[in-house]
Structure 1
Amino acid sequence: MMKVLLTGATGFVGTYVQRTLSTLPMVDQEGMAIDLLDSPKVESFIKDSDFDAVIHLAALSSVAQSFQDPRLTWEVNLWGTFNLLQALKKKKFNGAFLYVSSSEVYGKVSEDQLGVKENFSLKPISPYGASKAAAEHLCFQWGETNGFSVVMVRPFNHTGPGQEDRFVLSSFAKQLAKIFLGNQEPCLKVGNIEVARDFLDVRDVVKAYQLILERAALPDFRSQVFNVCSGHAISLKEILQAQISCMNIPVEIKQDPQLVRPVEVLKIYGDSSRLKKLIPWKPQYSIFDTFSQMVDFWKEELS
């Protein structure tokens, strides 16, 4: 039986990964309740743990937060990953290592280069994106020189019920729920909602992780990177307007300058054809349905 070490297990995506893995009798989960920046504790934990595969989710994953605290973003996302890899090397680990990167590594992409393929040059424009790109290179090098079966994934924007409200769609969903319940004036505070993103439901994303992990030791996966995406872009404005129309409530949308990022990718979507050739995966959830479920989630939380 495969036994999986999952970092970031208590985070938004981590909780969904645990639910997905728990349905598989071959998988047992290990939670990692330690600071990845504490190298001695990481090494002690890894040394004393028994596992065959690693999913490395733990990261500071907010683009906005990365501008507010770039140093911490780099420390956690790069040096935290280094400490984990170093501990695995000392353990003589030779199993599968799935590194969860981000589409933010691509940065700005011109219209004629969409949807982005994995061989597109990396030009991140946020501390978060830059730190994830650096960690990708670290993971690749470590896999080539230390015997790991490393696979890297670049998920595009993914969301779902339970996501923290510091992320854009969850913030919108929470505000709409408060307006519906009469706890907020019918005014929605937003940043730039003209931007268009390749959105996925978190449940589709973690299903892809599961299918990749099961095949990570195969030659077609080892030392490879895969986009996990829908293949098309939808603007925040479209998602908001559709939900407001369904709720049939009057809402004013007002831009808050504090919510506008200093630099912004206006439109991006990816190409997941490399992944789809190798695993039986395609998105099952509509982002409009997902967003509606997120509003319902916040209604329950706030009631």
Structure 2
Amino acid sequence: MLSYRSVFVTGAGGFVGRYLLPALREQLTPDARLVAPGRAADADVVLDLNDTAAVARLIDDLRPDLIVHLAAQSSVGASAGGAAETWRTNVAGTLNLAQAVATSVPTATVAFASSSEVYGAAFNAGPADEGTLPLPMSPYARTKRTGEELLADVLAPTNRLIVFRPGNHSGAGQDTRFVLPAFADQIAGIEAGKIPPVVKVGSLTAMRDFLDVRDVVDAYCAVLRQETSTLRETFNIGSGDVQPIGNLLDMLLAMARVPIRVEQDPARLRASDVPSARIDATKLRECISWRPRHELRDTVVMVLDDCRRRYRG
């Protein structure tokens, strides 16, 4: 069980948040309070993280002892074409949150969803562990690295800060800016007769560590259950294995119900790609005995089935 009494989750309406919230509810005590602010009218509390005064008021009113900061513009590709908005979303809101927490709840725990993308060019030298110097290569990755440093500087010295750096993770409900749902959505659209029988792809040779979002959420919760006196901690989350992106496409094509051709689309190629991104998550495994529970093929099936359901309406 999680021992926190008041939990505040940003970005709860996003892809990872929709998996994390039920997991937190299941592990919190019945009398614990879980607040998930957002911009949508149906959010627990309507909040724009860029509104400094509103963030300060809400944190002061709620006095959470755990803050999980998921809210972000999370697409590497989108950040390349919208760097200013990515910086505004990912950094300004994080600064407001850090200031409010430091002022009102200086002993609270803050868990920050960063990304293994912060390692960037460092992957060219081999597997990256938490001691590897980050060399981010995209606006998205640079904002995440800045967020890590900002929180370390602005939070009170007595706040506990946990930084998570997960690898690529996917599951049902992820949008098509990300590689697995991008492939699956095209295949489902072809099967439904909505688009021509051609899947447009970027690089298929880049080697990545792919995880199921449910395994990432399990890791978040397991770390948050740990009692520790360490006030600053970073954890990589990865399987330790990499495989070419093309393997995902091969799995999907084998599941397709109609013949499909594959064409490379130059617009889908990323200048910030490294050939291989192998994540060393030894520290996480030693801390919580974590291992991925879901096979990659099961994740692929789940994403394709989700896309097919959307096309059926």
TM (normalized to structure 1)? 0.94
Partner of 1:302: 311
Gaps of 5+ in 1: none
Q: Secondary structure at the match of 1:291?
A: helix
Q: Deviation of residue 213 (structure 1)?
A: 1.3
Aligned to 2:172: 161
Instruction: Give the superposition deviation at 1:135.
Output: 1.1
Secondary structure, aligned partner of 1:261: coil
* 245-254 vs 154-163, greater mean Cα deviation: 245-254
In the TM superposition, residue 44 of structure 1 has moved relative to its aligned partner by 1.3
Query: Does residue 126 of structure 1 match 2:114?
Result: no
Q: Deviations over 1:248-273 (max 9, x none)?
A: 53211111111112332221020111
Which residue matches 1:19?
22
Local SS of the residue matching 1:119: coil
- Aligned pair partner of 2:224 in 208, 213, 216: 213
Q: Secondary structure at the match of 1:146?
A: coil
Q: How many residue pairs align between the two structures?
A: 299
Structure 1 runs (4+) greater than 6 angstroms displaced:
none
1:290 equivalent in structure 2: 299
Q: Give the letter aligned to residue 131 of structure 2.
A: N
Shift of 1:17: 0.4
Mapping for residues 42-81 of structure 1, pairs under 5 Å: 42-81=55-94
**Counterparts of residues 63-212 of structure 1 (less than 5 Å):** 63-109=76-122, 113-143=125-155, 145-212=156-223
1:8 pairs with one of 8, 11, 21: 11
Q: Indicate the RMSD between aligned Cα atoms, in angstroms.
A: 1.6
1:281 maps to 290
Task: Kindly indicate whether the alpha-carbon contact (under 8 Å) linking 2:207 and 2:244 is maintained by their aligned counterparts in 1.
Answer: yes
Return the alpha-carbon distance in structure 2 between the equivalents of residues 282 and 110 of structure 1.
22
Decide whether the 8 Å contact of 2:171 with 2:303 is kept in 1.
yes
Looking at structure 2, the residues matched to 122 and 239 of structure 1 have their Cα atoms a distance apart, in angstroms, of 27
Aligned partner (choices 281, 288, 309) of residue 272 of structure 1 = 281
Native 8 Å contact 2:122 2:132 kept in 1: no
Aligned-partner Cα distance in 2 for 1:24–1:30: 15
Mapped partners of 1:181, 1:93: distance in 2: 53
Alpha carbons 1:142, 1:148 under 8 Å: kept: no
TM-score, structure 2 as length reference: 0.91
Shift of 1:110: 5.0
Identity %: 34
For residue 114 of structure 1, report the CA deviation from its aligned partner.
2.7
Aligned partners of 1:45, 1:191: CA distance in 2, in Å?
Answer: 43
Say which SS state the counterpart of residue 165 (structure 2) adopts: strand
Pick one of 227, 237, 242 that aligns with 1:228.
237
Distance in 1 (alpha carbons) for counterparts of 2:283 and 2:225: 17
Q: Structure 2: where are the runs of 5+ without partners?
A: 39-46
Determine the structure 2 residue equivalent to 1:253.
262
